[in-house]
Amino acid sequence: MTVNRVMDKGRCAEIFERIRRATDLRDVEVSVRGGRSSLTRFANNAITQNVSEEGYEISVRVQMGGRTARATTNLLDDESLRRVVQQAEALARVQEQDPELLPMLTVAEQGSVPELNRYCEETATMGAGERAEQVAAMVAVAHRHGLNAAGIYSSGEEFEALFNSHGVERWHRQTMAEASVTMQAADSSGWQKQNYTTAKRLDARALAETAAEKALRSAAPVELPPGKYTVILEPSAVVDLIGFLAHDFSGLALLEQRSCLNGRLGTKLFGENISIVDDVSHADQTGPAFDGEGVARNGLTLVENGVVREVAMARGTAARVSESNLASKLIGARPTGHGFSLPNENGESATNIVFKVAPGDAKTVEEMIARTERGLLITRFWYIREVDAYEKILTGMTRDGTFLVENGKVGKGIRNFRFNQSVIQMLQHVLDLGQPVRAAGEEAFDMVAPPMRVEGFQFMETTRF
């Protein structure tokens, strides 16, 4: 099968040069993003949809006299590129001057990035027939157990290139394959989801078997009273809660008094067993090793043995922090390579979250269950909303596999609960942590997170299913 290749770095560089020739401005930044993605959807044990798309976006930022603006296009002809530059220039001229706007990034400031191999040729060229085979494997599990399966299998490749007129050049490409499956019975369900940069690691059949086991085991669910329970959270459940905390590790959020870490830097906010880093180089992470301006993405120690240490900072944020009283509370006010493309209102965020657990301290889920006299085993949460931004109180519901644990064994499935829980308090009461793994949820970005056993998790009411 012959597959047309998406853009390479050379083609992106050629687009940048065409844009440079279309303007007299000295400060021009161009990002080119795009790729190809394909998805096979199934429901009622049959494929219902197969779609594939390929697209590109050229985004141009100009800077002049303390003003900056951006314009985008998905057209590649000379006239469209000339027009998008003119649009960016016109927008910049009507902006108010920003006294805190830094000069455009230079080569001397950009830093070096690690070589990250996140591209798999077989995944990039995966066709509809191969995805259908993976779906067939998941549906076969459903048929064998008398269940109804629904979900997706997707594959694709993407790239991101960034150039500016001061010599900065950045390039990243990666592939991704993802499977999600829900197994439904008369009064119960089970779910699993996973993705990797190579389809070789993605075992769709195993995901389906686990989802089917959860659906069968949780049949005829019983109702328990609301209250505080010891819970064993599988990694997907952990990811969707921690996602609401990750964006608070931002220097700009601290400066603007909208972070839950305000007044808590350098304090022991979480339990002694909680250590979290931001590590783009981790083997189970994804994404480019540079930020929206081209700054190399540095590793961060966000939490060390429960103590809040570092936060993400874009270039502009670091300059502002260095002139504020926050500088003495952080380990250096420096750009960390976590900024978003300018202009933006959000500054930066930690996006490559990795929990650190010493191998000797990690417990398996089975060990956590065995150590629990009475509690709940939770597959995942859904429909999560923030109730209190500073205390990070969240509300949401359990779903697709919630079980009673008694006397160290998994018992009956239970009716789902609505919870009201502070993530900060949750991380103060973690009894056990498992080995961190790449985990995907539905409410947050993917992380390298462990299963965890937590004491005193607050449930407010029971659902009807």
**201 and 225 both lie in a single domain:** no
Name the one residue in this structure whose structure tokens are 């006010």: 333
295 domain-assigned: no
Q: Residue 142 and residue 416: Cα distance in Å, rounded?
A: 23
Distance of alpha carbon 170 from alpha carbon 45, whole angstroms: 44
62 and 124 together in one domain: yes
Q: What is the pTM of this model?
A: 0.96
Contact 377, 413 (CB under 8 A): no
Domain of 226, in residue numbers: 221-242+358-462
Asked whether residue 280 is assigned to any structural domain, the reply reads no
Biggest CA-to-CA distance, the chain = 74
Handedness of CA 263, 266, 270, 271 (dihedral sign): negative
> How many residues are recorded in the chain?
465
Mean pLDDT check: name the lowest of 133-137, 243-247, 328-332. Answer: 328-332
Q: What is the pLDDT of residue 463?
A: 85
Q: Per the domain annotation, does 330 fall within a domain?
A: no
Percent of the chain with pLDDT over 90: 96
Whether 36 maps to a domain, the answer reads yes
Instruction: Convert the pLDDT of each residue in 420-432 to its tens digit.
Output: 999 999 999 999 9
**Token couple for 195:** 């993705």
**Confidence category of residue 333, pLDDT binned at 50, 70, 90:** confident
| Percent residues over pLDDT 70 in the chain | 99
Do both 234 and 124 map to the same domain?
Answer: no
**Which SS3 state, helix, strand or coil, does residue 109 take?**
helix
In a domain, 299, yes or no: no
Q: How many CB atoms lie within 10 A of CB 403?
A: 23
Mean pLDDT throughout 68-73? Answer: 98
Residue-averaged pLDDT of the chain: 96
* Banded model confidence at residue 5, pLDDT cuts 50, 70, 90: confident
Residue 415 lies in a domain: yes
Q: Where are the alpha helices (DSSP H) in 280-420?
A: 315-322, 365-370
- Res 4: pLDDT: 61
Q: So what's the pLDDT on residue 1?
A: 43
Structure-token match 């995966």, residue found: 126
Q: Is 44 helix (H, G, I), strand (E, B) or coil?
A: coil
Q: Please give the pLDDT value at position 434.
A: 98
Could you give the number of structural domains in the chain? Answer: 2
CA 345 to chain CA centroid, nearest Å: 20
Q: What pLDDT sits at residue 2?
A: 45
